[in-house]
A and B are shown apart, each in its own frame.
Chain A
Amino acid sequence: MSYQTTKEHEALRSKVRAFAEKEVKPVAFMNDQESIFPVEQVKMLGEMGLMGIPFPEEYGGAGLDNISYAIVVEELARVDGSTGVIVSAHTSLCAWPIYAYGTEEQKKKYLTPLASGKKIGAFGLTETNAGSDAGGTETTADPDGDYFILNGGKIFITNAFYADTYVVTAVTNPDLGMRGISAFIIEKGQEGFTFGDTYDKLGIRASSTCELKFNNVRVHKSNMLGQLGEGFKIAMSTLDGGRIGIAAQALGIAQGAFEAALAYSKERVQFNSPIAFNQAISFKLSDMATKLRASRLMIYGAATLKDAKQPYGMEAAMAKQYASDVGLEIVNDALQIHGGSGYMKGMLVERAYRDMKITTIYEGTNEILRVVIASHIIGRPPKKETAAKAKTAPTGVTGVRKKVILEGTAQERVDKLVAALKSDGYDFTIGLDAQTPIPQSGRVVVAGKGIGGKENLTLLEKLAYQAGAAVGSTRPVAETLRYMPINRYIGMSGQKFTNNLYIGVGVSGAGQHLKGIKTASTIVAINNDPNALIFKNCDYGIVGDFAEIIPLLIQALDNGEAKRYVEQPKKIKRAVPKKLPANYKIHICNGCAYEYDQKLGDPESDTMEGTPFEMLPFEWVCPECGEEKSQFI
């Protein structure tokens, strides 16, 4: 392990620092304030060969080592944490897995433009229910001939939507748990691949972060990264390396804040002396410098191991966890040294203080990293006695639904919808106060962002009246657009609608909204975007324009009389799924008829849940009667 960087490393540092000071620092404040992605700067980084540092030149990379890579991220983050993470996510999380697991063809097609900076990359692992526990992945990739059909979504994705190339994970076999996850390379602009709203973040505001949505995205099998079922392994090893980048980002942000605090403390005079000479301040500065040096050595140490192709997972985790934990302390002290000035917008330390926080969270929270480190030094914990989880094949968020998309002219579609609802038992002569609290409403008409201007709400209220429904909305309509009070929005975090009839108009179907309606008896979706996720989660859907469909629907539901008020409308039933056999073989013992179900594994022999029978070791015997594996049918 080297205790000193080489001349070449320091030459690179000078070059990147000069660039960062000249091109990045001047725009960082504005980009932060306005959440502007530094398109120009990233382009320049590509031209300088800094978007593919650790990759061979034959794939468009710079052919440098991982310390060089860490130095680049560090120097960029020193002036702007956002630019640091853009390079880190691009290099470590997208280009690297393609380099490490891609076929020659995939490397030529995807790595080369990434490493040469012609394209930007991103990585999609995190989902609503799969954060630290990637085993909760719900995005599915169902085989269909030479293709996989991706459905689901990812959240908190760095560099989306500016990235061109995405490495994402999806479940290819729901019965195999972690081993049923595979990785795929997809491209921006593929049919069915869309983006959600960009998040409004605390820090790193110039880096773009948004949701990925997959709606029947057809991915050719040649775009599967690694082997079937290797997705989890690929994701984990990708994150191992990514941690060097994030550690370097944390180090850079802290370094920038430290330098600013040092300079400020030498200039700021109180009690006739620069405050730097006040022991309270000088000790702070000493501690900051010590922590920075420790972080830097840890990061370069992990990078050296990686270059030497030695195991570096634990060291990378330690470096990221340490650099970000002490990084938070450093930016805190740096801001403190600045006093009131540091609390003002426009000060680098103010931005560094906000930018730093994310580094203890992403690419493995520091809590998860301690789990990783502990597993390296202690080993795997003994098995806990837990009841076997029966995992069922995933259905949509809203469970089993009819998913009837109505066809025909606008009038025919509306008529079919009303006929279907009536045949399901809905009586449209009864009514309800439009402002009935959501939990007490038997029916609800919900406004999504797709309804357009606020004036269109009047039309929805008319529809609600004719449908005997209350009025509600999605979260953005209440929270961002403020069309309705916040207590009218439906979603996992808001109020749940568990009653009879839900009619969503212009609702796209964000996961958290669908979770709030998953026990509704009937879900009707009206939206002009045929790819809206809600159509996969509805009983009846009409693809059509709001202004055309809604008036027709109001007319069709109008019985010409005032609606009758009914205390307790009857509960309408949901479609019942027919239970199907497992989609894998259950092996049965010839000695006692014990059933080996791969979903449950065999706790007695420490066989993990999800282990296929074929993968049981030769010496495995029936846990009940001791028959050999060959005696199973």
Chain B
Amino acid sequence: MSIWKNTKSTVRLVAEDIYYLGVDEPHVDELFEGIHPIPEGVSYNAYLLKDEKTVLFDTVDKKVIDKFMANLKEALDGRPLDYFIVQHMEPDHAYGINHVLKAYPDVTVIANEKTFMLMHQFGVDVALEKKHQVAELDTISFGRHNFVFAFAPMVHWPEVMVSFDTTTGCLFSADAFGSFGTLDGNLFDDEVDYDRDWHEKARRYFVNIVGKYGPHVQSILGKAVNIIKLENIKIFLPTHGHVWRTDLMYLVNKYLKWSSYEPEEKGVLIVYASMYGNTEKAVEYFADKLQEKGVTNITVRNASYTDTSYLISDSFRLSHIVIACPTYNLGIFPLINNYLARMKSLNLKNRTFGIIENGSWAPKAGDLIEEFLDKEMKEMTILDDRVTIISSLGEINEPEIESLVDSLVQSLQS
């Protein structure tokens, strides 16, 4: 059977009776959530089950609502829409609720108590007789397909729930297992070289959106293992990114790592800012010294020209972080401050830091960064090898640099 249901739309069959209604959004000028740049675009995924009853899973963002509504109509192929499951109320998936209710006024909305509450807050009111409120682990049969609903609070909103089709093994996972990036026609994980082309995007998506909620991610993964049983899950159907039907454990293992704040790789991330190039020069020299001592996994990022979401992604990836920072108004350079504040807000922990500070009359950034890492964040180890540059790198810094390099090498080896 051809997977193409209709060449004029982007509707695709993903499993028995289950259709993909999602839409790519390749426009790069918008910030995701108003904060993260996504030059790679993003896909907004929604799904339709055509069983004895028809069931819609979520909608899409405002920008692509028309395409989605066309897909829905096409997929229904003249049948009425019986049920509409709202798993997550964030407007990039919930924007279309009103459109759906208007186009299919007889539809019954299935959601949990918190979702209905948020729906009301966002200005969507469902008539009482059209509400079907579900509780944790409730089940519903739509004919051949039997569903169980599991709540995933704070992954990454409090109302989130996932829906598991016990008939096909499809897990409608909401934002979990999603990614940035448009699909460009390759809907399934096995249609792309995920590790080469998508791993970075999936990490940047996960750690920046859900990074703070590691314990909650662990909790829902626990439910997947203990209640649904991992071996029963055949397909992940997330609300962004690829449909996973081949190597599910690849992503589960990544999630276990990210949500426990374990670094993916041993290596050094150097995040720096430089006003006139002196700190940058020191960073270049420092990276060379690291390399001379045999460190091969080094990533250097200029915080002034790199969006913080990329710095965060690298910080989740690597075990060691060197911050090189000018003193600015007797404080931390503002863009480095942004980076530190974002790390704190995402609850990153368990990293080892080195600090390089620069200052021309009163170097202060080092003390402040150290204090921030020590007091404001958890389980951050700070090496006792501050490099203090007075305006520009000089002979005097040689022992300090050597000492910090040695400590990093030693710590990487341990």
Contacts and interface: CB of A to CB of B under 8 A. Distances in A.
A578 interface: yes
A80 to B, nearest CB: 54
Interface in B391-414: 399, 403, 407
B73 interface: no
B380 A579 contact: yes
B378 A633 contact: no
Contacts of A575: 384
Contact of B154 (A390, A573, A576, A590): A590
A593 B154 contact: yes
B158 A592 contact: yes
A590 B219 CA distance: 10
Contacts of A590: 153-154, 158, 216
B215 interface: yes
A487 B350 CA distance: 44
B154 A581 contact: no
Contacts of A625: 158
B258 to A, nearest CB: 16
Interface string B372-402: 0001001111111100000000000001000
A576 B384 contact: yes
A47 to B, nearest CB: 61
Interface residues of B, number: 22
The residue among A577, A579, A581, A625 with the most chain B CB atoms within 10 A of its own CB is A579
Pick the most buried of B349, B378, B382: most chain A CB atoms within 10 A of its CB. B378
A304 to B, nearest CB: 53
B213 interface: yes
A570 B399 contact: yes
A456 B212 CA distance: 62
Contacts of B349: 581
A345 B52 CA distance: 109
Contact of B381 (A573, A574, A579, A592): A579
Contacts of A573: 384-385, 403, 407
A378 interface: no
A581 B379 contact: yes
Contact of B212 (A579, A581, A593, A633): A593
B158 A591 contact: yes
Interface in A316-360: none
A578 B219 contact: no
A390 B216 contact: no
B403 A633 contact: no
Contact of B216 (A574, A578, A633): A633
A390 B377 CA distance: 12
Interface string B354-376: 00000000000000000000010
Main secondary structure of the interface of A (DSSP, over half): loop
A577 B215 CA distance: 25
Interface in A572-608: 573-581, 588-593
Given A573-B385, A579-B381, A633 B215 contact: yes
B257 to A, nearest CB: 16
A600 to B, nearest CB: 13
Contacts of B382: 576
A390 B350 CA distance: 18
Contacts of B213: 593
A345 to B, nearest CB: 56
Nearest to A574: B384
Contact of A581 (B153, B158, B375, B378): B378
A165 B60 CA distance: 75
Interface in A223-272: none
Nearest to B375: A390
Nearest to B403: A573
A633 B383 CA distance: 33
Interface in B41-79: none
A293 B382 CA distance: 65
Nearest to A593: B154
A208 B158 CA distance: 64
A579 B384 contact: no
Nearest to A390: B375
Contacts of A576: 381-384, 407
Given A573-B407, A593-B212, A593-B213, A633 B219 contact: yes
Given A581-B378, A593-B213, 9 more contacts: A573-B384, A573-B407, A576-B381, A576-B384, A579-B378, A579-B380, A591-B158, A631-B153, A633-B216
5 contacts: A570-B399, A588-B215, A590-B158, A590-B216, A592-B158
Which 6 pairs between the two chains have the least Cβ-Cβ distance?
A: A590-B153, A579-B379, A573-B384, A591-B158, A593-B154, A579-B381
